[in-house]
Amino acid sequence: MSNMSIGGKARHESIVDEVSSWLTRSADEVDHLLATDRRRIVAAIEELNNDARLGDANAYYRQQLLLSRIYQTTMQISYEPTAEGSALLHEVTRLLEVAMIASEDRWIEPGTLESAPTVPAEYLSWLKRLARNHRAFKHPYYTEFINRRAQREDLRTYVIQESLVDGRFDDFLALMQVGTSGPAKMEIANNFWDEMGNGNPESVHTHLFSKIYEVFDVRQEELEDALSASDLLSGNLAVLLCRYRHMYPESVGYLGMTEWLAPDRFRNVIRAWERLGLPDVGITYHRLHVTVDSQHAAGWFHNVVLPAARSDYMRRGIARGALWRVNSSSRHLDERLANTRFAAERSA
Amino acid sequence: MSNMSIGGKARHESIVDEVSSWLTRSADEVDHLLATDRRRIVAAIEELNNDARLGDANAYYRQQLLLSRIYQTTMQISYEPTAEGSALLHEVTRLLEVAMIASEDRWIEPGTLESAPTVPAEYLSWLKRLARNHRAFKHPYYTEFINRRAQREDLRTYVIQESLVDGRFDDFLALMQVGTSGPAKMEIANNFWDEMGNGNPESVHTHLFSKIYEVFDVRQEELEDALSASDLLSGNLAVLLCRYRHMYPESVGYLGMTEWLAPDRFRNVIRAWERLGLPDVGITYHRLHVTVDSQHAAGWFHNVVLPAARSDYMRRGIARGALWRVNSSSRHLDERLANTRFAAERSA
């Protein structure tokens, strides 16, 4: 590591700490900084983004950590003022978002989006084929590691790593359906209502998920430190796509692909759960998703993707979001697999 | 009108047109303006806000019109790029929001928020009493004008004026429930699911509302021109409160009060509908709300307000949001009443 990047690391930590410290101040208070500190802050964030782009792992981690903290202020209820809404905070957020978008776009094979068929039914088949042939589809992290090898501690790690998506899937759906209408709106709303246990508090998915946390004695305080850049990214991408109406097509692709991949993945989790004799709540939660998510994926393709696929803009965005999901998921699972004892044993 | 304000009017129209013209460009494109034009734009918006604050009716209208247009980009699905997410657009939005917040706060009688009881049950009684004694509670616009006098054309105007709230109430609920949990989340989700006709497409409230539009042959294109500053404000306030997590308490007060006031108001609308022999769909829609909203208001108070009312921060925010609603609603209805032929006849 060169001296420059050591200096870079300290600067990255310092700007992330600085912006994080705003989050519990009011937006008005933060915006009084604008006049004097704006340039310096923007420059520091641009440096962070630039270093992340050039492959600096620490910069990438800090970038995703900061975005994840900022997004928490937009996804959690606070009992005291937050900087949410601040113009300066939004400018920082936007720089991080634009960098993340550009980074995900670079992972898409050039020409892929352009090769999509224009007829909706053909487009849908093409999209499914793309996903079925992707490494993310039956990833060895699930089919081998989780299925056959994972121990109790590995499943504990797994549920922590999934927290930024599974722990708030209902809110992603609520956000992404804003502004939709007709069958698409009903499909997403139905999906949301399933997440809400169809009105039965004991069956609310996030409630079941929190019960799994109790099984493993996972505390909120330990979450942030336990998450890698890839864990953070997968939550950040979902928030990004659901919070903006102009990213509705990408959210359709991203969340649709997430639900489509879930049943097969969760079957492996259920087998691990049974193999290890862990408490039933984990089986209940994952089995629910195996049944319900297969129906949702089918409904999603029929009621959300197909009607939208008449528009060029929508087709491109849906495919882009779906590719962001499978690409980031397979990088994520490769990384997880490389970090398991299973991998350590194999390479020993 | 002084020369200064004639110049002001032209400048206000010009900045509103300019920012409106960004909305159909991409955020990245708009943000390239930042470096060179930011100061001029910020100054123009500040002038607009300042003139609105000093009582310039045109500036106030332009301010609310611009905010309403910006909010549309955050509440509607677009089939082409929009400027949503742009740092400069957010800075403009924030200036408009801060001005609107300050303006609503000035309508609250000093000392009111401070006089709220701290015990949750007493707080709730205090809040209801405040609303029951408020001019908005049984406003003559509903009890006299709509009930006894309104003609077909008046009801047409009425549904247009309600479009920015009734036409997207489901989305307000979806947004405001983000980050909640337990009974509060279930209460809001239940409410959302009722708006969605409990899964029956024909009973979706926004669908019924759009059927009412068909009765009166109301077109989307005529909406914007038909809306007054007060009509726009009532929609803008709802969007503001639902889009920010730190305004969750205010949204609880604002939407809770909206639902609490609805049944009595809608009974007057139903009487007008019956008196005029208008098509049944309007009766269906409003009758649904009379029944369902009374239940919702009760559930809202019990499951959303009471548990939150243990916190100082929440109590203050909920009361503030409720007061914003009753205050802005009574100004709004006073204005509507003054504009009716009924008022013209009385003063003649």
pLDDT tens-place values along chain A, 348 residues long: 444 456 888 888 888 998 998 999 999 999 987 668 888 999 999 999 999 999 999 999 999 999 999 999 999 999 999 999 999 999 999 999 999 999 999 999 999 999 999 999 999 999 999 999 999 999 999 999 999 999 999 999 999 998 888 889 999 999 999 999 999 999 999 999 999 999 999 999 999 998 999 999 999 888 889 999 999 999 999 999 999 999 999 999 999 999 899 999 999 999 999 999 999 999 999 998 888 878 888 899 999 999 999 999 999 999 999 999 999 999 999 999 998 876 666 665
Closest partner residue to A79 among B181, B199, B311, by Cβ?
A: B311
Q: Which residue has the tokens 């776009």?
A: A105
Closest partner residue to B177 among A78, A82, A174, by Cβ?
A: A174
Contacts of A78 in chain B (CB under 8 A): 245-246, 248
Q: How far is CA A251 from the centre of its chain?
A: 11
What does the alpha-carbon distance between residue B85 and residue A42 come to, in Å, rounded to a whole number?
16
**CA dihedral sign of residues B160, B165, B169, B171:** positive
Closest partner residue to A180 among B31, B77, B246, by Cβ?
A: B77
Contacts of B220 in chain A (CB under 8 A): none
Closest partner residue to A90 among B87, B185, B245, by Cβ?
A: B87
Name A103's Cβ contacts closer than 8 Å, sequence gap at least 6. A52, A53
Show which of residues 135-174 on chain A sit within 8 Å of chain B, judged by CB atoms. 170-171, 174
SS (H, E, C) A137-168: CCCHHHHHHHHHHCCHHHHHHHHHHCHHHHCC
SS (H, E, C) B277-312: CCCHHHHHHHHHHHHHHHHHHHHHHHHHHHHHCCCH
Q: Which residue has the tokens 């600067």?
A: A11
What does the alpha-carbon distance between residue A286 and residue A297 come to, in Å, rounded to a whole number?
16
Q: Which of B303, B171, B306, B297 is nearest to A199 (CA)?
A: B303
Residue A86 distance to chain B (closest CA, Å) = 7
What separation in angstroms does the CA of B44 have from each of A214, A327, A343, B65, B102? 54, 45, 61, 15, 18
Residues of chain B under the 50 pLDDT cut? 1-4
Q: Which three-class secondary structure state does DSSP give residue A190?
A: helix
DSSP assignment string, B169-230: HHHHHHHHTTT--HHHHHHHHHHHHHHTGGG-GGG-HHHHHHHHHHHHT--HHHHHHH--HH
The complex's ipTM works out to: 0.94
Inter-chain contact A190–B199, Cβ cutoff 8 Å? yes
Inter-chain contact A199–B193, Cβ cutoff 8 Å? yes
Name B226's Cβ contacts closer than 8 Å, sequence gap at least 6. B157, B160, B161
3-state helix, strand, coil in chain A (%, to 5): 80, 0, 20
Residue B342 distance to chain A (closest CA, Å) = 37
How many contacts (CB atoms, under 8 Å) link A and B? 138
A244–B contact, CB cutoff 8 A: yes
Specify the pLDDT at position A342.
66
**Residue B109 CB coordination number (10 Å):** 9
Specify the pLDDT at position A345.
66
Inter-chain contact B245–A75, Cβ cutoff 8 Å? yes
Specify the pLDDT at position B289.
85
Element at A99 (helix H, strand E): helix A87-106
Contacts of B79 in chain A (CB under 8 A): 311, 313-314
Q: How far is CA B256 from the centre of its chain?
A: 13
What separation in angstroms does the CA of B210 have from each of A323, B159, B214? 36, 10, 6
Residue A42 distance to chain B (closest CA, Å) = 12
Specify the pLDDT at position B296.
85
For helices B120-132 and B248-276, give the axis angle rounded to 10 degrees.
40
B100–A contact, CB cutoff 8 A: no
Q: Determine the residue type at B321.
A: G
Specify the pLDDT at position A1.
40
What separation in angstroms does the CA of B132 have from each of A92, B5, B137, B257, B258? 45, 40, 6, 11, 13
Specify the pLDDT at position B165.
87
DSSP code at position B343: H
Contact B259, B292 (CB under 8 A): no
Contacts of A201 in chain B (CB under 8 A): 182-183, 186
Show which of residues 58-97 on chain B sit within 8 Å of chain A, judged by CB atoms. 73-82, 84-87, 90-91, 94, 97
Inter-chain contact A204–B186, Cβ cutoff 8 Å? yes
Task: Print burial letters for A129-146: b (CB count within 10 Å at least 16), e (below 16).
Answer: ebbeebebbebebbebbb
Name B347's Cβ contacts closer than 8 Å, sequence gap at least 6. none
**Residue A126 CB coordination number (10 Å):** 16
Q: Which residue has the tokens 């790029």?
A: B81
What does the alpha-carbon distance between residue B208 and residue B292 come to, in Å, rounded to a whole number?
15
The whole model's pTM is what? 0.94
Contact A83, A73 (CB under 8 A): yes
pLDDT of A219-257, one tens digit each?
Answer: 988 888 999 999 999 999 999 999 999 999 999 999 999
Q: Which of B103, B212, B128, B125 is nearest to B166 (CA)?
A: B212
Inter-chain contact B199–A193, Cβ cutoff 8 Å? yes
